[in-house]
Structure 1
Amino acid sequence: MAEPDVLQTHPLYATDRDLVDRLLAVTAPVDQDLVELARLAMRYEGFPGAHDLQDDLAKTLRLWALDRQQLHQRTRAIWAAGHRPGALAQQEPVGSGFDTADQTND
């Protein structure tokens, strides 16, 4: 007798659920949205559980008029252009922000 499929709960489900809900609401995805969708799609591909997330990831692709191959082509280009996780969309000034004028010379 074969054992029934065991559905697992992913340890990052709660945070990923929030992110997927946010992505579903996006009508014009920016680079970071595309990267997040690709990352989550890879994380949950073949995962034995979280079917609601997997369905919503596929739905997001359809809403954005993309298939997996197009998503991966676009995200590869984003990474090749220098994208780094956590980087702000706006360029931050270079420097430590340390103000030497506040120091006293003894």
Structure 2
Amino acid sequence: MGAASAVLLVLVTILLPPLGVYAIAGCGADLFINICLTCLGYFPGHLHAFYLEYVYYDRREQTKMGGINTSRAPGVYSERVQSGGTGYGYGTIVQPTGPPPAGHH
């Protein structure tokens, strides 16, 4: 994601925090927590969403610079956010690891 994508994500998060969390973390515990926090009050949902986005972009930048952060960010349950999105590309195919099935040459 470039700078324009990050700005768009921030604008979306300002309007609807769970949508911003869904964009970086997907459907999981972080999204559920953010929905609950947003229902409790608009401000807690924003804090949580912007924290997740900070961790995501910080980890992404560390990876680009060659650093590997092995410590887990507190309160973040999504592996996608913990890793900065590395290893979660679209269209990746896991290669089979074993002999081909019988009957195939």
TM-score (norm 2): 0.25
Give the number of the structure whose alpha-carbon radius of gyration is greater: 1
Query: Does 1 or 2 have the higher relative contact order (CA < 8 Å, sep 6+)?
Result: 1
Q: Which has the higher helix share?
A: 2
